[in-house]
Amino acid sequence: MIELKDIYKIYGDGEGEIRALDGVSLNISGGEFVAIVGQSGSGKSTCMNIIGCLDVPTSGTYRLNGTDVSTMKDDELAAVRNKMIGFIFQQYNLIPKLTVKENVELPLIYRGMPAKERAKRAMEALEMVGLADRCTKMPSMLSGGQQQRVSIARALAGNPSLLLADEPTGALDSKTGREVLEFLKKLNEQGNTIVMITHDNEIAKEAKRIVRIQDGKIISDEKGRE
């Protein structure tokens, strides 16, 4: 489903150039749960930005579900993100002045879905994360763990082919972090493809597959728990 081939991402040029990604090739199939692990500055976020179609590589090709997205323009990438990718951020990134339900509806709005269907889908997604009863609350009225679950609901609402989580437990205490992690595992068991970025080996171990990255290169690719 994800095919990265010889991906380079180079910032700056000449002497001062930084190879944030230095020839990365990686294939991820549907239904996998992959953790991308590495130290700070190793290129994890850069990698995730490219997988998430927020950015395009300097060179190399990236096929997502068979389509080459590495040369797409802004608006085309936006459409791909909207349909195929659900983001789960470290900082939840909910919009504070919208209610929980409106936040979850947001990707569907940009898809142009009619209001009725949108509301139904959003409620379904909120039920999955067990927060349907909070749908009219503002995000600021929820705990960190709950907010992260709302952001998972938002990612799920659009029924994407890929869930992309960037340090999803980074802002949570270890207990709540666990819960979120367990939830991601459950989603994976239900058939969702998940790519999780983390610097924490303990968390990475929970994934089915662990990809280690250092200085923009993949240094190992191994199986995790099973």
The reply on whether position 42 binds ligand ATP by CB under 6 A is: yes
45 part of the interface to Mg ion, by CB under 5 A: yes
Q: Is 10 in the site for another protein (CB under 8 A)?
A: no
Pick the binder of ligand ATP from 2, 24, 35, 44 (CB under 6 A).
44
Name which of 44 and 149 has its Cβ closer to ligand ATP: 44
Task: Answer yes or no whether residue 93 interacts with another protein by CB under 8 A.
Answer: yes
List the one residue out of 40, 1, 43, 49 whose CA is nearest residue 22. 43
Least Å distance, CB 97 to another protein, is: 6
Report the C-alpha gap between 84 and 86 in whole angstroms: 7
List strands edge to edge, sheet with 59-64.
18-28, 2-11, 59-64, 67-68
Tell me the window of 63-71, 91-99, 182-190, 204-212 that interacts with another protein (CB under 8 A): 91-99
Q: Does 91 contact ligand ATP by CB under 6 A?
A: no
Of 48-87, which residues contact ligand ATP (CB under 6 A)? none
Among 1, 110, 124, 176, binds another protein (CB under 8 A): 110
33: contact with another protein by CB under 8 A: no
Three-state SS annotation for the chain: CEEEEEEEEEECCHHHCEEEEEEEEEEECCCCEEEEECCCCCCHHHHHHHHCCCCCCCEEEEEECCEECCCCCHHHHHHHHHHHEEEECCCCCCCCCCCHHHHHHHHHHHCCCCHHHHHHHHHHHHHHCCCHHHCCCCHHHCCHHHHHHHHHHHHHHCCCCEEEEECCCCCCCHHHHHHHHHHHHHHHHCCCEEEEEECCHHHHCCCCEEEEEECCEEEEEEECCC
Please, what is the minimum distance in Å from the beta carbon of residue 197 to ligand ATP? 7
State which residue, 121 or 212, has the beta carbon closest to ligand ATP: 212
Q: Is 72 in the site for another protein (CB under 8 A)?
A: no
Smaller CB separation from another protein, 118 or 209: 118
Q: To the nearest whole angstrom, how small is the minimum distance from the Cβ of residue 48 to Mg ion?
A: 8
42 binds Mg ion (CB under 5 A): no
Write out the residues near ligand ATP by the rule CB under 6 A.
11, 18, 20, 38, 40-46, 199
